[in-house]
Amino acid sequence: MTLRVLFLLCCALSLSAVATALPVPEQGPALRIQGSNTIGAALGPALVKGLMEQQGLQAIHSEPAGANEQRVIGTTRQGKSITIEVAAHGSSTGFAALKNATADLAASSRPIKDSELVELEPLGDLKSPEAEQVIAIDGLAIILNPRNPLNTLDTEQLAQIFNGEISTWEALGGIGGPIEVYARDDQSGTYDTFKELVLRLRGKPLVASAKRYESSEQLSDAVSQNPQGIGFIGLPYVRQAKAVAIVDGDSQPMLPLNSLIATEDYPLSRRLFLYLPPSSHNPWAKALVAFAQSGKGQAIVAANGFIAQQVQAMAVEPRASMPEDYQAIARDAQRLSVNFRFEEGSASLDNKARQDLRRVVAYLKGHDKLDKQVTLVGFGDAKNDPQRAALLSKLRAMAVRRELVKNGVVLREIRGFGAQMPVAANTADEGRIKNRRVEVWVY
């Protein structure tokens, strides 16, 4: 093949890439996103702008379209305008909008509920790997006024505070008199997550006197200005407030640090989702999901204060509370910023783990660590028989091993530590699922 033929072929391929540019709709918005305020306030519009830039649009800008709503607008080189609408009224409204065909994508800061899954069944299985897309990890920070001397609270205390059973700071060993509770509104995925992780598990409703907010920023600023205040908020919205360390069950106290949230060890960590109905024929919806998972998309996630899912190696300081064998691994290796977790009641990797598998393999290939440079460390929830817990934790590591082997990874070692080093209380399914995890260590 001559150089001229090669050149013409490259030109043809280049023209073909241009031809596959996303279509300009004849009328109305190219894409409608509805749901989580946590996503829709800033992250969603930023991802939309990133996709528009990738598409070569010009004069990209956003303009308000109502309370907690905005339009992102870009112009093609031919002068045609493209609009994407982002409405941020809470996760529940996203699923309702999918049902009513008033949105193409649902943004949610919690997993889809079983009841929503059933209602949306005509659109396809929204729990399928293609439909349920984890785009970022967030941590719910418990925030206080900066002058509050308390630095640590456990999840039981949180439930009692936000239920009103503990009503003074003195009851917690602090000072300041009556506690004033701040919370997001009922439509908020942030509130849904807090309710699921803290209140519902302990059968406690939110105290009726709580001050409710649709805006994350306004809630955070209100707490930071009130010495008696306490609230919960998504990680990017701590702002001028003070975040405290959280204990769940027998876990260590954990601040909402990036490393602990990336691995989802932090007790109040959560996943942020886009839900794309399998029946969707909207090319912009599919393109935005793909862009959000790309390197550029994840860089935007990080720039907006959330935790990107790009895999990184982290040094872990050995502690006396760790098993000796685990300390030995920590001294010689680095831990990757991902935990593999499993579908409820299953040995199958969940949808995030399937995405993470590709990221881990890419990291190992890029850092020349395919041959006996990887140790998998499995953990589980407490069982009556510690030996059974240890066996199950190793079997989970072996399930991850099988997937890595398919991608050419030769492992150094597999270890199972049973129910040791819990990251959550074992008193409910959610905690047990968090404890059933597999860590990846590289040498």
Same domain? 212 vs 155: yes
On whether residue 62 sits in a domain, the answer given is yes
Same domain? 249 vs 210: yes
On whether residue 30 sits in a domain, the answer given is yes
Same domain? 82 vs 176: no
The residues near 336 (Cβ < 8 Å, ≥ 6 apart) are 311, 312, 313, 314, 360, 363, 439, 440, 441, 442
- 53, pLDDT greater than 90: yes
If DSSP codes are grouped into helix, strand and coil, which group holds residue 2? Answer: coil
Q: What is the mean pLDDT of residues 92-120?
A: 97
Most confident of 81-90, 247-256, 258-267: 81-90
- 19, pLDDT greater than 60: no
CB contact at 8 A, 241 and 146: yes
Same domain? 50 vs 96: yes
pLDDT recorded at residue 201: 75
Residue 285: which pLDDT band, with cuts at 50, 70 and 90? very high
Instruction: Tell me the two tokens of residue 423.
Output: 């990251």
249, 284, 303 — which closes off a domain?
303
Q: Which residue in 437, 436, 359, 435 sits closest to 404, CA to CA? A: 359
Q: What is the mean pLDDT of residues 310-336?
A: 96
Task: Decide which of 13 and 218 is more confident.
Answer: 218
Task: State how beta strands 229-234 and 180-184 pair.
Answer: parallel
- 125, pLDDT greater than 60: yes
Same domain? 288 vs 360: no
> What is the rounded distance in angstroms from the CA atom of residue 316 to the CA atom of residue 138?
21
On whether residue 267 sits in a domain, the answer given is no
> What is the rounded distance in angstroms from the CA atom of residue 105 to the CA atom of residue 225?
36
Q: Which residue in 134, 73, 140 sits closest to 107, CA to CA? A: 134
Which CATH number covers residue 371? 3.30.1330.60
DSSP symbol at 16: H
pLDDT recorded at residue 363: 97
- 6, pLDDT greater than 80: no
> What is the rounded distance in angstroms from the CA atom of residue 77 to the CA atom of residue 416?
57
Amino acid at 233: I
pLDDT recorded at residue 345: 64
On whether residue 9 sits in a domain, the answer given is no
Digit-coded pLDDT (tens) for 220-240: 999 999 999 999 998 889 999
Same domain? 103 vs 214: no
- The neighbouring-strand residues paired with 371 are 410
> What is the rounded distance in angstroms from the CA atom of residue 113 to the CA atom of residue 117?
6
Which CATH number covers residue 244? 3.40.190.10
Same domain? 323 vs 290: no
> What is the rounded distance in angstroms from the CA atom of residue 43 to the CA atom of residue 205?
30
pLDDT recorded at residue 175: 84
pLDDT recorded at residue 13: 40
What Rg value do the Cα atoms of the chain yield, rounded? 23
Mean residue pLDDT across the chain: 91
Task: Decide which of 406 and 384 is more confident.
Answer: 406
Same domain? 277 vs 131: yes
On whether residue 239 sits in a domain, the answer given is yes
Location of structure tokens 């590591």: 397
- 10, pLDDT greater than 70: no
Same domain? 280 vs 357: no
Same domain? 126 vs 214: no
Same domain? 298 vs 316: no
> What is the rounded distance in angstroms from the CA atom of residue 86 to the CA atom of residue 49?
12
Same domain? 280 vs 226: no
Q: What is the mean pLDDT of residues 45-69?
A: 97
Q: The domain containing residue 340 runs over which residues?
A: 311-442
On whether residue 152 sits in a domain, the answer given is yes
Residue 216: which pLDDT band, with cuts at 50, 70 and 90? very high
Residue 200: which pLDDT band, with cuts at 50, 70 and 90? confident
On whether residue 257 sits in a domain, the answer given is yes
On whether residue 14 sits in a domain, the answer given is no
Digit-coded pLDDT (tens) for 367-404: 999 999 999 999 988 777 778 888 889 999 999 999 99
pLDDT recorded at residue 1: 46
The whole-model pTM stands at: 0.82
pLDDT recorded at residue 244: 97
Backbone dihedral region of 175: left (phi > 0), alpha (psi from -120 to 50 degrees) or beta? beta
Number of domains in the chain: 3
- Estimate to the nearest angstrom the gap between the alpha carbon of 350 and the chain centroid: 13
Least confident of 114-123, 278-287, 420-429: 420-429
Residue 15: which pLDDT band, with cuts at 50, 70 and 90? very low
